[in-house]
Amino acid sequence: METILEVQGLVKHFPLPGSRAKVQAVNNISFCISKGETLALVGESGSGKTTVGRCVLGLLEATAGSIQLRGRMQLVFQEPAEALDPRIRIGETIEEPLRAVNLPPAERGERVAAVVDRVGLTVEILDQYPLTLSAGQQQRVGIARAIITKPELIVLDEPTSALDPTARAEIIDLLLRLQQELGSAYLFISHDLSAVRYISHRIAVMYLGMIIEQGDAAEVFRTPRHPYSIGLLSSVLLPDPSLKGLTSISLRGEIPSPINLPKGCYLASRCPFADDRCRREMPPAEDLGGNHVVRCFKHQEVAQTERAADTFEEFQRTAERILSA
Amino acid sequence: MEDAILEVEDLHVTYHVYGKDPVKALRGLDFEIKPGDILGLVGESGSGKTTLARSIMGLVPAPGRIERGRILFDGEDLTAKSTEAMQSIRGRDLTMVVPNPRAELNPLVPVGRQVANVARVHLGLSKAQANRAALEMLQAVKISDPERRFHTYPHELSGGMAQRVVIAMALVCSPKFIISDDATSGLDVTVQAQVLELLNRLVSEKRTAMLYITRDLGVTAHFCNRLAIVYDGQIVETANTAELIEYPMHPYTLMLMAAFSQNPRLRSMWTKAGSRIASEAGRQACPFAPRCVRAEPRCYQDSVALRELRPGHLVRCHIPVTR
């Protein structure tokens, strides 16, 4: 497969004014995305996933490491209402990227109409202002603006988090369809694991600026091997009370400060498996086969104690039973 | 049967914006909550969830007004109470936890003292007694190192810790009733799991009743023992959690559930494009009809009441789903 984006050893530290300390937001991250593929970066607030996205977009200068992009890139923001200028008509907003690539005005109108249709909106909205649209429609406008230049890569930063559940599902469907039609690769940054499970081919779980587990999405969801991934996945609550406690790792406390990173494994203070070695040494990235990579000394022990169960897949059975009435 | 601690009867709340049509946010809400109950109120943005929370607290912002209905708390009608009377109830017997905990806390006062102040004002404790009560509460909400954290300021705490402080403030007077308005949705999932567990334990230990307002059907299925689905200011379906999840009958409930499905076929069975009609003029007899996959002409003509279609399971629909 042709690689669209390759990130090698990315580091991003923010200096703290008036102090020698720094916020170590991203600490040595490597990943790549192939043509037409979706890689999800998941993690909680403070994990550095948004900083990675901003470095990829060139909005932040990396402290170290390399980022190679083959092709064009666009982005879709989290808060659709804030990402659109309230004083600019929708039509102009969608057209703007075409001006940036110097497309002659005669061709722009046609492209705008085509892209509006493609994201499931009607041309009537072109004369409207963002405030008159629902959040779901606003996000469609954001997506239309991103795909109009036919970029090879789209960075989606929490595109579904601000939406109601039904609108969220529609946007995910739209993104899947557009990927099939246009073949763009997605870097999907999200803490919304339902959306991630549905949309991504591969997944990278971040914790304190490091990728602690990476692999094929279905495999990581079915057999997560890092205690943090398991804790994260078992915290997801789907509308079926019987799906509680399929996995049993509960993480204590909260994420440590990225200013004073712990020695050894960053999760050790919260992890039920941690021993002295975990508190002393940083575990290396270990390939378990099939590009499933884990940074954990205890992954074999974790594999023995945790029974494999993909809550999302289990829920599909519930959904089938209840919804196909 | 135990008496309900909170009964909401036929509650109507309307916002009268000058120069515009009035917006009816709540259009006849009825429900009750018994001690030890956690009622999950699920609805999308704009369904009236927050207006309900504010109505119960006596804090409907102008130009909003309670037009009709009663809110009986411990047998007394809150809508008839004076501002002063509400102030003595609010924070003591009746408390609320809101999202964005850091905005809720006073940035200039150490968090322990903020919790203690609630106890001093409402329970008339001395400073020393109130400090002791606050410290115990910080321990109860599992704030690590509570003696030290007592003296920290809100900006020094993470979002999860700040939310625990707000919960400690809400619980320090052992209230009879707690409203959580989207209080855990801003938290990370692993922290949310901890906070929900904590709330669950505190509520069941003290037999506090709770109204848990959210748009996330998934969380309520695990956390609440009863559910009420709200659409456009009305309850469209209510039952105990296991019953409602296993036998959803209102097409809107099925649409909410379908949003969690990853099967496009199942989703398209229950989802129709379109969005909530916000204007009064555009509202149909059944407000959900324009988005409903089962809508018939009568749904646009005749309004429909909540009916008990299975034991304890009420649905507001002409053509309820059965299987």
In angstroms, what CA-CA distances link A226 with A61, A293, B252? 30, 10, 38
Q: Classify B229 as helix, strand or coil.
A: strand
Over range A248-275, report the average pLDDT: 86
Nearest CA in chain A to B251: A323
Q: Are strands A185-190 and A153-157 parallel, antiparallel or unpaired?
A: parallel
How large is the ipTM?
0.84
Among B159, B161, B269, select the one facing A323 at the smallest CB separation: B269
For chains A and B, CB pairs below 8 A equal: 120
Listed in order, strand segments (DSSP E) in B125-198 are 177-181
pLDDT reading at B267 higher than 90:
no
In angstroms, what CA-CA distances link A45 with A190, A282, B182? 10, 22, 18
pLDDT reading at A246 higher than 60:
no
> What is the share, in percent, of chain B residues with pLDDT greater than 90?
63
Q: How far apart are the first and last CA of chain B?
A: 31
Question: In the structure, what pLDDT confidence band is assigned to residue A325 with cuts at 50, 70 and 90?
Answer: low
Look at residue A307 in the predicted model and tell me its pLDDT. 65
**Strands, sheet with A64-69, edge to edge from the N-terminal-most edge strand:** A22-34, A3-15, A64-69
Look at residue B279 in the predicted model and tell me its pLDDT. 67
Strand-pair partners of B72: B7, B77
d(CA B254, CA B245): 9
pLDDT in tens, B78-134: 999 999 999 999 989 999 998 888 888 999 999 999 999 999 999 999 999 999 999
Among A236, A316, A322, select the one facing B248 at the smallest CB separation: A322
Does the CB of A135 have a partner CB in chain B at under 8 Å? yes
Instruction: Evaluate whether residue B307 is within a structural domain.
Output: yes
Q: Are strands A38-42 and A64-69 parallel, antiparallel or unpaired?
A: unpaired
Does the CB of A207 have a partner CB in chain B at under 8 Å? no
Over range B226-244, report the average pLDDT: 96
From B94, B84, B44, B43, select the one nearest B230 (Cα to Cα).
B43
Instruction: Evaluate whether residue B80 is within a structural domain.
Output: no
- The mean-pLDDT minimum among A154-158, A275-279, B188-192 falls in B188-192
Residue with tokens 């409903």: B292
Look at residue B108 in the predicted model and tell me its pLDDT. 95
Amino acid, res. B110: P
Over range A16-31, report the average pLDDT: 91
Domain edge (last residue) among B174, B196, B215: B174
Residues of A in contact with B259 (CB under 8 A): 165-166, 168-169
Look at residue A292 in the predicted model and tell me its pLDDT. 95
Residue B155 is given by DSSP the state G
Among B44, B188, B261, select the one facing A319 at the smallest CB separation: B261
Residue with tokens 């007004």: B65
Number of helical H runs and strand E runs in chain A: 12, 11
Distance from A102 to chain B by nearest Cα, in Å?
35
**Strands, sheet with A153-157, edge to edge from the N-terminal-most edge strand:** A73-76, A153-157, A185-190, A38-42, A202-207, A210-216, A293-294, A286-287
Residue A142 is given by DSSP the state H
pLDDT reading at B278 higher than 70:
no
Over range A16-29, report the average pLDDT: 90
Output the six-digit token pair for B69. 């209905």
Distance from B307 to chain A by nearest Cα, in Å?
21
Look at residue A199 in the predicted model and tell me its pLDDT. 93
Look at residue A310 in the predicted model and tell me its pLDDT. 83
Listed in order, strand segments (DSSP E) in chain A are 3-15, 22-34, 38-42, 64-69, 73-76, 153-157, 185-190, 202-207, 210-216, 286-287, 293-294
Beta-carbon-side half-sphere exposure of residue B37 (alpha carbons within 13 Å): 21
pLDDT in tens, A229-245: 988 888 888 999 888 75
In angstroms, what CA-CA distances link A233 with A48, A225, B202? 18, 11, 25
Look at residue B277 in the predicted model and tell me its pLDDT. 60
Residues of A in contact with B215 (CB under 8 A): 164-165
Contacts of B10 (CB under 8 A, 6+ apart): B28, B29, B30, B68, B69, B70
Mean pLDDT of all residues in chain A?
Answer: 90
Instruction: Evaluate whether residue B22 is within a structural domain.
Output: no
d(CA B214, CA B223): 11
Distance from A237 to chain B by nearest Cα, in Å?
5
Instruction: Evaluate whether residue B19 is within a structural domain.
Output: no
Distance from B72 to chain A by nearest Cα, in Å?
31
d(CA B168, CA B97): 10
pLDDT in tens, A28-78: 999 999 999 999 999 888 889 989 999 999 999 999 999 999 999 999 988
Phi, psi angles (nearest 5°) of residue B317: -160, 140
Phi, psi angles (nearest 5°) of residue B269: -60, -30
- The mean-pLDDT minimum among A179-188, B12-21, B311-320 falls in B12-21
A3-71+152-323 CATH pick, 3.40.50.300, 3.40.50.2300, 3.30.450.20, 3.40.50.150: 3.40.50.300
Please state, as a whole number, how many other Cβ atoms lie within 10 Å of the Cβ of residue A243.
Answer: 21
Distance from B81 to chain A by nearest Cα, in Å?
35
The answer to whether B266 contacts A232, with C-beta atoms less than 8 Å apart, is no
Beta-carbon-side half-sphere exposure of residue B41 (alpha carbons within 13 Å): 28
pLDDT in tens, B6-53: 999 999 999 998 888 888 999 999 999 999 999 999 998 889 998 999
Output the six-digit token pair for B159. 């979002």
> What is the share, in percent, of chain A residues with pLDDT greater than 70?
98
Look at residue B274 in the predicted model and tell me its pLDDT. 64
Query: Would you say B84 and B212 are in contact if contact means Cβ atoms under 8 Å apart?
Result: no
pLDDT in tens, A68-113: 999 999 999 888 888 899 999 999 999 999 998 888 988 999 999 9
Query: Would you say B125 and B119 are in contact if contact means Cβ atoms under 8 Å apart?
Result: yes
pLDDT reading at B183 higher than 70:
yes
Q: What is the dihedral of CA B112, B115, B117, B118, to 10 degrees?
A: 180
pLDDT reading at A228 higher than 80:
yes
Among B221, B258, B260, select the one facing A194 at the smallest CB separation: B260
Domain edge (last residue) among B143, B174, B205: B174
Choose from A237, A244, A271, A311 for mutation: most chain B CBs within 10 A: A237
Amino acid, res. A235: S
Over range A19-34, report the average pLDDT: 92
Residues of B in contact with A230 (CB under 8 A): none
- The mean-pLDDT minimum among A153-167, B199-213, B244-258, B265-279 falls in B265-279
Number of domains in chain B: 2
Q: Which domain holds residue B300?
A: 243-315
pLDDT reading at A162 higher than 60:
yes
pLDDT reading at A161 higher than 90:
no
Instruction: Evaluate whether residue B284 is within a structural domain.
Output: yes
Angle in degrees, 0-180, between the axes of helices A165-182 and B251-258, rounded to the nearest 10: 50
Residues of B in contact with A241 (CB under 8 A): 221-222, 241-242, 245
Over range B230-235, report the average pLDDT: 94
Residues of B in contact with A240 (CB under 8 A): 221, 245
Instruction: State the alpha helices, DSSP H only, in A133-216.
Output: 135-147, 165-182, 193-199
